[in-house]
Structure 1
């Protein structure tokens, strides 16, 4: 089952993302992000968080949908993810998790590596592209000409690729910038590593 999580970062403007959200089977909104959902008249199933950024009028309007979680040791995105997980959802699309504060953006992206251990699939989307965690070896769908960035958090991993403009050949990635701004040559590309691991992949929308 798939759920959509709306974080309180930069809300998407792309029409295809808004349409996707309007057709979402289940929508979990993080706290103050409800202002965007309300403006677009999109159905919401749950509003979750410590309620520190939600407008008073919206709090009253959606009081039956609110799940108050005051825990300050966890951010609202994590509260939404684990709430959805407990409801039985195993696939997640996250919107609005990037933009605004850079520390929040980096923190939210890094959480994908944690979340993926508990679910079948999770993708973080913005107006510019999407992040997804993959387990190697893997075949990754893409579009010819699409910009691809690969991130690895273990410098001992050696990565090889096929169908990328700048091939990786048993390459370790000591920096986050080491394998950014590559390009897909076909509608799929392949990655293998010297041992099974998880990589963070970014695909820029054309």
Structure 2
């Protein structure tokens, strides 16, 4: 439900708001009048609001999901949000966390990063080693490499063009794409 404020700040009307609604301290009637559906859960629950929303998206059959406003604030929430994306039910989904500057997602076999020359791309092994890592379109190419969770070898690579391709043979690889910010 916390994403509701972010949607409204962007002048977007949410179709569905899911959660305990604890972060919504304003009158919800205008949103209801615009067609927003509220699915309220108890405040004392075993899931975060994002987990409930992902479960609902799975039930509705969505395959492409972009989650905004889930990368900052509290470290425990951020790590929990990342961990949610490792759910095996999401293994064939295109699901990304995006705050406008950084985009974060998991690679299970092949992934593509779209950006600009100079954007940073970090490859972080998640939950164990990642084998057979191959990259194209990055300054420091990897070819059939092993990335270990206790090493930082995959941090802060740079895109050499508008597309970078990452491929792995085994493991789970967290990709963090930090967009180059320029002032015009």
CA drift at 1:88: 2.2
Question: Is 1:49 equivalent to 2:19 in the alignment?
Answer: yes
Q: What residue number does 1:15 align with?
A: none
Q: What residue number does 1:12 align with?
A: none
CA drift at 1:33: 3.3
Runs (4+) off by over 6 Å? none
Contact 1:160-1:171 within 8 A present in 2 as well: no
Q: What residue number does 2:158 align with?
A: 183
Q: What residue number does 1:68 align with?
A: 40
Number of residue pairs the alignment of both structures matches: 174
1:141-179 deviation per Cα after TM superposition (whole angstroms, max 9, x unaligned): 442221100111222635233332223342322337431
Q: What residue number does 1:90 align with?
A: 63
What is the root-mean-square deviation of aligned Cα atoms in Å?
2.6
CA–CA separation in structure 1 for the residues paired with 2:162 and 2:30: 45
CA–CA separation in structure 1 for the residues paired with 2:171 and 2:158: 22
- The structure-2 alpha-carbon separation of the partners of 1:62 and 1:183, relative to structure 1 and needing over 3 Å to count, comes to same
Residue from 141, 166, 173 that aligns with 2:140: 166
CA drift at 1:104: 0.8
Q: What residue number does 1:4 align with?
A: none
Contact 2:91-2:108 within 8 A present in 1 as well: no
CA–CA separation in structure 2 for the residues paired with 1:178 and 1:114: 26
Contact 2:137-2:164 within 8 A present in 1 as well: yes
CA–CA separation in structure 2 for the residues paired with 1:129 and 1:183: 14
1:60-104 deviation per Cα after TM superposition (whole angstroms, max 9, x unaligned): 444562101226111000111111221221111110112111211
CA–CA separation in structure 2 for the residues paired with 1:33 and 1:141: 25
5+ residue gaps, structure 1: 1-30
Report SS of the residue matched to 1:113: coil
Q: In the TM superposition, what are the counterparts of 1:1-206 in structure 2 within 5 Å?
A: 31-55=1-25, 57-63=26-32, 65-70=37-42, 72-114=45-87, 117=90, 119-153=92-126, 154-155=128-129, 157-169=131-143, 170-175=145-150, 177-193=152-168, 195-206=169-180
CA drift at 1:40: 4.6
CA–CA separation in structure 1 for the residues paired with 2:78 and 2:28: 25
Q: What residue number does 1:16 align with?
A: none
> Which one has the bigger helix percentage?
1
Deviates more, 1:63-72 or 1:120-129: 63-72
Contact 2:137-2:165 within 8 A present in 1 as well: yes
